[in-house]
Homo-oligomer: A and B are copies of this chain.
Amino acid sequence: MAKTNPGRFFEDYKLGQVIDHAVPRTVGQGERALYHALYPARHALYSSDEFARGCGLPQSPLDDLAAFHVVFGKTVPDVSLNAVANLGYAEGRWLKPVYPGDTLRSGSEVIGLKQNSNGKTGVVYVRTRGTNQRDETVMDYVRWVMVRKNDLDAPAPDAVVPELKKVLSVDDLAIPEGLDFTNYDFTLAGEPHRWGDYQVGEQIDHVDGVTIEEAEHMMATRLWQNTAKVHFDATFRPDGQRLIYGGHVISMARALSFNGLANAQMIVGLNGGAHANPCFSGLTVRAWSEVLDKAETPVPGVGAIRLRLVATSDGSVGALKGDDGKYLPGVLLDLDYWALMPV
């Protein structure tokens, strides 16, 4: 009996199936420091316990994206080991901050299945939920991936494509208990721009760039216990390149966006995202953002801002797709998220 994990194939997924993912993980001060070593992260709420307390939280949480990566990483052996492509994200919500000492688990429910017309692959939709040691959901999100069939003769399941919100409304967002920006220190945060200073349609070039190294993306991806071979094994692809985990690009771009969005402190919603082109070591990642929407929240002093975050390998700003509707070759990431800012 083979003891290693072959991964699931398209015909192995059933609608409504619930998968408890393996290897719970206690995150702590080490993960926090590594996040700051791997990305130029500077949002003050995630850098200083004192600043976080000034905003009504008990201490500085783990970066929201680190929480996402930990929850996501656990799904890889069950969801994307035989995936051909990571097609999209929707309805991502951060529901509870994650603090050093918390232990995260994750589980997924199959909410959609659709075999492709070629009969060789299909699309699997899962809603993944990350929970802490108190069984509180810290985040959930929907992801869909294209997965290979192993047995091409397996019958196609009834096609079910879930209805997903294109954009979360502000009512869908969870604002951490106690969050209070009334004594927010803009000087310590690094920029004076408040929620009211941003206009829908405004674009911000985040200026700085980081050239990507193999050792760094592998350390990051391992830290989240993401085991996809293509990130680590230079013999896996014919071109000898290691494909960089898309989440590494997300974290890099988000960290770079500090320069111009220092007060977009907390990520609370993920509306969608596309890994437009693959990223490899040696590329220099830059980022720009566009304000897509703004909304008031029920919490005094806290505004929500919807941002498009684009990572590029060519330093372009504002350009996204060509006339053919496809992403331009210099675009690595197109992410649509909600963040909280002081009004």
A56 within 8 A of B: no
Closest B residue to A211 by CB, please name it.
Answer: B234
Q: Provide the A255-288 mask, 1 if CB < 8 A to any CB of B, else 0.
A: 0000111100000000000000000001010000
Known: A26-B48, A33-B34, A38-B219. 7 other contacts (CB 8 A): A26-B60, A30-B31, A30-B32, A31-B33, A37-B223, A210-B233, A216-B218
Q: Contacts A4-B204, A47-B25 given; indicate if A20 touches B218 (C-beta within 8 A).
A: no
Which of A193, A220, A222, A223 counts the most chain B CB atoms within 10 A? A222
Pick from A152-160, A184-192, A294-302, A331-339 the stretch touching chain B: A184-192
**Which residues in window 188-240 of A have CB below 8 A to B?**
188-191, 193, 197, 204-211, 213-216, 218-220, 222-223, 225, 227, 229, 232-236
Q: Provide the A4-15 mask, 1 if CB < 8 A to any CB of B, else 0.
A: 110000000000
Closest B residue to A36 by CB, please name it.
Answer: B223
**Which residues in window 62-76 of A have CB below 8 A to B?**
none
Report Cα–Cα, A23/B33, bound state, in Å. Answer: 15
Q: Contacts A33-B33, A40-B222, A233-B209 given; indicate if A204 touches B25 (C-beta within 8 A).
A: no
Closest B residue to A226 by CB, please name it.
Answer: B40
Report Cα–Cα, A210/B305, bound state, in Å. Answer: 40
Q: Which of B28, B207, B227, B259 meets A40, CB within 8 Å? A: B227
Q: Which of B22, B42, B206, B214 meets A4, CB within 8 Å? A: B206
Q: Contacts A24-B48, A33-B33, A48-B103 given; indicate if A3 touches B204 (C-beta within 8 A).
A: yes
Chain A residues within CB distance 8 Å of chain B: 1, 3-5, 20, 22-26, 28-34, 36-40, 42, 44, 47-51, 60, 77, 100-101, 103, 105, 133, 187-191, 193, 197, 204-211, 213-216, 218-220, 222-223, 225, 227, 229, 232-236, 242, 259-262, 282, 284, 315
Q: Which of B25, B222, B262 meets A39, CB within 8 Å? A: B222
Report Cα–Cα, A37/B248, bound state, in Å. Answer: 13
Is there an interface contact between B214 and A229, defined as CB atoms closer than 8 Å? no
Q: Shortest Cβ distance from A192 into chain B, in angstroms? A: 9
Q: Contacts A28-B33, A50-B133 given; indicate if A229 touches B209 (C-beta within 8 A).
A: yes
Is there an interface contact between B222 and A235, defined as CB atoms closer than 8 Å? no
Q: Shortest Cβ distance from A29 into chain B, in angstroms? A: 4
Q: Shortest Cβ distance from A49 into chain B, in angstroms? A: 4
Q: Which of B42, B193, B236 meets A225, CB within 8 Å? A: B42
Report Cα–Cα, A33/B26, bound state, in Å. Answer: 10
Q: Shortest Cβ distance from A62 into chain B, in angstroms? A: 11
Q: Shortest Cβ distance from A256 into chain B, in angstroms? A: 10
Is there an interface contact between B4 and A24, defined as CB atoms closer than 8 Å? no
Is there an interface contact between B26 and A232, defined as CB atoms closer than 8 Å? no
Q: Shortest Cβ distance from A229 into chain B, in angstroms? A: 6
Is there an interface contact between B22 and A44, defined as CB atoms closer than 8 Å? yes
Q: Give the residues in chain B near A188, CB-CB below 8 Å.
A: 20, 22-24, 105
Q: Contacts A4-B260, A33-B30 given; indicate if A77 touches B24 (C-beta within 8 A).
A: no
Is there an interface contact between A187 and B60, defined as CB atoms closer than 8 Å? no
Is there an interface contact between B24 and A44, defined as CB atoms closer than 8 Å? yes
